[in-house]
Amino acid sequence: MRRIEPEEDTPDTSTKEELIPLYRQILAIRRMEEAAAKAYSQGKIGGFLHLIIGQEAVCVGAVSTLRRDDYVVATYREHGHAYAKGVSSRAILAELYGKKTGVVKGLGGSMHIFDKPTSFLGGYGIVGGHVPIAAGAGFASKYRGDGRVTLCFFGEGSSTIGGFQEGIALAALWKLPVVFICENNLYSMGTPLYRSLAVEDVSMRALAHGMARDRLDGDDVIRVRRRIQIAVDRARESGEPTLVEVRTYRFRGHSMSDPGLYRTREEVDEWKRRDPLAIARRRLVDECGASEEELRAVEDEVKKEIADAIRFAEDSPAADEYRPYVTKESPTGD
């Protein structure tokens, strides 16, 4: 298994106060994704459904470094990122169900979550296409001097396409406060790393642009949080971008329609032994002295939250309008 840090690398210690909320988010995302998978198999969710199960520590740890008004730009695999930024499981699941109460009123579905109140600038379906948009949010922050930071997530398979390459080049040239986070889950659909990248170290893409870079394993939410914090601070203080590669793994197929035959059972099992959810829980118990009761309380709460969110999605009215959202009324001309 391709680790970045040596096995013995021990991440910084944490505290209950810090880790419990992160654990709660990882757990909630896990349960939300599982609930979505179930609903999909029941035909209650349609289209493409890309789950992030196994990768939760990356978005949770990274987004935990942000202020509410900081921006996040993500891909079609963005339920976890949206949840971590503050979008409710109700709004997300109702969207997947195509309901009027969904975060975008049933217009976007799984791939296109957008939420202005939490500065979540979207889930995008065209690989690489969202990277220049993240640079644009960073450009606006620099233009206004508002001190905001933008996080841009993408997969390793998206690190070759022009949109990505031009996006990071402009961010580096103009010194935009953006942290580009590659969630390197070793596969681009059915294509393993070594067949899509000449150099497996995605962070080396930063060298051509003199951009700061980092690489780390994504199984430990605290490690992710610490290391992304450094990049976020750099962006906030010096306005400079960073390219960070985080190694991770998706436990499920690319999307619900992918049986994932291109991976061996052994490989998947090996990664499951590094389940970020289990690791966070273990650290809470072993290092932070959290009691089983405390954790079970969190787990019950999450269980209730997701059950309620599913009920909400089920009971919500169907989506019913789309025509108002094509062209916005303008002062001049329709």
Partner 1 sequence: MPVISYREALNHAIKEEMERDERVFLMGEEVGYYQGAYKVSQGLLQRFSERRVIDAPIAEMGFAGVGIGAAMVGLRPIIEFMTFNFSLVAIDQIVNNAAKIYQMSAGQFPIPIVFRGPGGPAVQVASQHSQALESMYSHVPGLKVAMPSTPYDAKGLLKSAVRDENPVIFIEGETLYNATGEVPDEEYLIPLGVAEVKRQGSHVSLIAWSAMVPVCMAAAEKLAEEGIEAEVVDPRTLRPLDAKTIVESVQKTGRCVIVEVGWPLCGYGAEVAYQVQRECLDSLDAPIERVTSEDVPMPYALNLEREVIPQVADVVSAVHKVLYLD
Ligand X SMILES: Cc1ncc(C[n+]2csc(CCOP(=O)(O)OP(=O)(O)O)c2C)c(N)n1
Q: Which residues, numbered 19-58, are part of the site for partner 1 (CB under 8 A)?
A: 46-48
Signed CA dihedral, 42, 44, 48, 51: sign only? negative
Window 269-308: contact mask with ligand X (x via CB under 6 A): ----------------------------------------
Which of 189, 207, 285, 297 lies at the binding interface for ligand X (CB under 6 A)? 189
DSSP-derived pairing of the beta strands 178-184 and 187-188: unpaired
In the region spanning residues 59 to 118, those forming contacts with ligand X, defined by CB under 6 A, are 77
Binding-site partner at residue 88 among Mg ion, ligand X, a second copy, none, CB < 5 to 8 Å by type: none
Choose among 49, 39, 29, 109: nearest CA to 256.
49
Among 158, 203, 248, 316, binds ligand X (CB under 6 A): 158
Applying CB under 8 A, which part among 131-139, 268-276, 278-286, 289-297 lies near partner 1? 131-139
Residues 165-184 that bind ligand X (CB under 6 A): 183
Binning the chain into helix, strand and coil, the percentages to the nearest 5 are: 45, 10, 40
Amino acid at 160: T
| Smallest distance, ligand X to C-beta of residue 295, A | 29
* Residue 156 found at the interface with ligand X (CB under 6 A): yes
Q: Which of 1, 21, 46, 126 binds ligand X (CB under 6 A)?
A: 126
- Strands 150-155 and 120-123, by their bridges, are unpaired
> For partner 1, which residue of 66, 131, 206, 228 counts as binding (CB under 8 A)?
131
Residue type, 84: A
Among 71, 114, 139, 187, interactor with ligand X by CB under 6 A: 187
Which SS3 state, helix, strand or coil, does residue 259 take? coil
The amino acid at residue 96 is L
Give which of 80, 85, 82 is closest to 68, Cα–Cα.
85
Window contacting Mg ion (CB under 5 A); options: 149-157, 222-230, 241-249, 322-330 = 149-157
- Residue 50 CB contacts under 8 Å (≥ 6 apart), including other chains: 76, 77, 110, 111, 254, 255
Binding site for ligand X (CB under 6 A): 77, 125-127, 155-158, 183, 185, 187-189, 254
